[in-house]
Amino acid sequence: MTTRFKRPDPDDLKALLLEGPFSTATEDPGLAPSEPVTPVQLVLTLAQIKAYDHNPRRERNPAYDAIKASVREQRGLNNPFTVTRRPGETLFMVQAGGNTRLAILKELFAETGDAAFNSVQCLYRPWQSETLLLAAHLIENELRGEMTLIDKAYALRELHRQLETEHEIKLTRTALCQRLKALGYSLSRRQLIRFDYAMTLDQLIPHTLRNGLGATGIDQIKATEKAYQRLCQDKTPQFAALFAHTLASCDDEPWDLEAVRRELDKQLAPLLGIPVTRLRQTIDASLFNASADEDWPDDPGQPTATDPKASTTLDQSTAHASPTDLYQPPQAATMQPLPTSEAENRLPKISDICPASTPVDTVTPRYPAEPDTPADIHALYERTYGLAHRIARSIHLEQVVVPVSQGLGFIIEKPQAAFTAHATWGLWWLLLGIAEQSVSPERDPLWQHTDLYQLQQDPEGTALQQLVGPAPSVSHYPHEVLQNKAIVPDPVFTDICQLIETCRHIRQHYPSTQLWPSGPP
């Protein structure tokens, strides 16, 4: 006997469609007593949805007003919310981002009373865990690029805590990176250390961090803290508190890392018993030579200056000179090298002084090999002085190059007037660095009779900076000066390369005790 199937009437179809998890916006979704085990579409009202109560974003979305205007114009959202629900709760909760859009819908509904803003299309996903929920919000915000670094740091700390609680284990940074990768959120150990450091800075520069200080800024502060720590170690116990106070006092907008260093140099110089200018040069050298990895240990160890235990008043950190601190005088002149004198044309070549060497007086595609045999020191001094004099003469500063029979054969004196051209400033500082006279106190006898030395002893360093400007930024100097033909023409650049090559030869073949003896030159 064949059973005939009875086609349901419209009322029966409607009843079937409303069974289980399906509902209208005017009815409770009715997911209890058993929640769906697969994603389902829902239409909810705003009263049935709450924001994620551990939202990693702590600051207002900078695009809030623009998003609100778009939602108002469209009278709703283009994309549905993804929601979930904790076991035992009645309200749904945004599951992956959407907190900003939910707040906007509630504002618009309160302002207009338009029902279009109250009815929300949603995709319901079954509850999994607190860890996965937080990770989903982090990933969503990461994709949108909407979170500040400090917000992300606190969210990761909470996620770290949740993972340790759920798995009842202690996670190192390496293990945490592996767990995060399994959740679909890839981070390096170095990034985790940066986030930890940012949270220590939050006690000092909260305004700056919430205005968007990013990874580069955090790394600069960390590197500079370490550089000052190395200098102040065993010299002053006041470093940690002083550093913290200086950093906190500069928590302004716009953030000026260079201002932090200037104030810190001013405060530390008398404590360390050295001039401000020398302190700055020492820190610059330390920053330039520091290893990128030594400042980022694997896991927390001994307290640093940013450790809350390091100061009873303030936590601390520092600031690295801004990449834009390259001196920009009022005018930038194009300087051409002057005709060389007959004496300069007779500069001894290293190939003449040391026959085994490769000539360096012509520009070649690669640097020549250094001589294997030491040359006569006085002939080398004649060469370094002549090259330095010719370089200085190209910018009308030949009077600042003084010959000496020690060191590298020449020293640099102060200019007669303040620099007004970028080329003059850049080449003067370059020659001062090549001469190495201000590298360490042991070399002071070589130039302590000069006016430049007397200027450098000023604790404030104001007069010297007004005369020669600030020291160059190592990150911009090659681009702004050395590789700029308008400032350093090819003949001058060739002389610079030859001068450096000759100084390298001197340092390689003669001991420091011979080059830098104590006493007057």
The pLDDT score that the predictor gives to residue 151 is 84
The DSSP annotation for 278-332 comes to HHHHHHHHHHHHS-SSTTS-SS--S--TTSGGG-SS------PPPTT-S---SB-
Residues 161-178 have a mean pLDDT of 86
What is the pTM assigned to this prediction? 0.48
Q: Omega of the bond prior to 254 within 30 degrees of 0, cis?
A: yes
Please name the residues in contact with 222: beta carbons below 8 A apart, sequence gap of 6 or more. 194, 197, 295, 296, 317
Q: Does residue 402 carry a pLDDT above 90?
A: yes
Higher pLDDT among residues 301 and 20, named by residue:
20
- CA–CA distance, 325 with 142 (Å, rounded to integer): 31
Q: Point out the least confidently predicted range of 93-102, 141-150, 281-290.
A: 141-150
**Closest by alpha carbon to 480, among 264, 328, 291, 308?**
328
For the segment 382-395, what is each residue's pLDDT rounded down to a tens digit? Answer: 999 999 999 999 99
Q: In this structure, what token pair is assigned to residue 417? A: 């007037």
The pLDDT score that the predictor gives to residue 103 is 87
For the segment 306-327, what is each residue's pLDDT rounded down to a tens digit? Answer: 443 333 332 333 333 332 232 3
CA 379 to centroid of chain Cα atoms: 45
The pLDDT score that the predictor gives to residue 10 is 66
Q: Which amino acid is at 167?
A: H
